[in-house]
């Protein structure tokens, strides 16, 4: 843990984690507890992590002249269909923050994410354009592509790393290693003094 804090240049004890359950709950980041949630919001001086191994690690930041806000969000199939992406952007906009940017980290692509036909139909009904066909011709869901489309439609600037975790062995993937695998982390840290906007082309995943 100390190694991550040193690399991220944040104060000891200021990195927040969450117990992810494929839900849609988003709560403020805290360092004295690990809440059950799939999204954390953070303020300047805080850092937070999202753990994944095929799901989308979504990092969001936004600011006004006198306010700044960040969020890390775990977006799996259930969270996507449950509306967690819109819920995250709603938090920013309710706070009066409309200048928002986001990074979509490495995640399984639609061409590799096979699901049953019923799930693909359900996804398409809830989020038109989210269903797809895998490279071997079976029903699939394009989670990162759908996340990007939702964000763009909400006026968010989006930077997608376009890395498929199933295809790229640098990253853990439950689909590639169904017998058990680890998870990698996406981190977002809001410095106390500098603007929070996520840099285009940056790699916030370690």
Q: What pLDDT, in 10s, does the model give residues 46-90?
A: 999 999 999 999 999 999 888 899 999 999 999 999 999 999 999
Rounded Cα distance between 36 and 27, Å, is: 9
Q: Which residue has the tokens 């240049």?
A: 9
Rounded Cα distance between 4 and 37, Å, is: 22
Longest CA–CA separation in the chain, Å: 50
Residue ranges of domains in the chain: 2-109+155-189
pLDDT at 174: 93
pLDDT at 65: 83
The dihedrals phi and psi of 13, each to the nearest 5 degrees, come to 85, 5
Q: What is the fold, at CATH topology level, of the domain defined by 2-109+155-189? A: 3.60.140
Rounded Cα distance between 50 and 35, Å, is: 12
What pTM does this model have? 0.88
pLDDT at 203: 45
């Amino acid at each position: 843990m100390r190694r991550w804090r040193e690399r991220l240049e944040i104060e000891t004890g200021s990195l927040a984690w969450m117990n992810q359950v494929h839900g849609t709950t988003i709560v403020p980041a805290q360092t004295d507890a690990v809440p059950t949630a799939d999204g954390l919001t953070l303020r300047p001086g805080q850092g937070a992590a999202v753990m994944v191994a095929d799901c989308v690690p979504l990092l969001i930041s936004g600011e006004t002249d006198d306010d700044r806000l960040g969020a890390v969000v775990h977006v799996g199939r259930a969270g996507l269909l449950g509306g967690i992406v819109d819920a995250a952007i709603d938090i920013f906009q309710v706070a009066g923050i409309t200048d928002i940017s986001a990074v979509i980290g490495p995640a399984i692509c639609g061409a590799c994410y096979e699901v049953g036909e019923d799930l693909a139909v359900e996804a398409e009904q809830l989020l038109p354009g989210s269903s797809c066909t895998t490279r071997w011709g079976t029903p699939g869901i394009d989670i990162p592509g759908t996340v990007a489309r939702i964000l763009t439609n909400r006026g968010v600037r989006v930077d997608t790393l376009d890395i498929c975790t199933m295809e790229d062995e640098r990253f853990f993937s439950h689909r590639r290693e169904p017998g058990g695998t680890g998870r990698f982390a996406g981190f977002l840290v809001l410095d106390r003094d500098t603007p929070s906007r996520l840099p285009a082309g940056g790699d916030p995943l370690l």
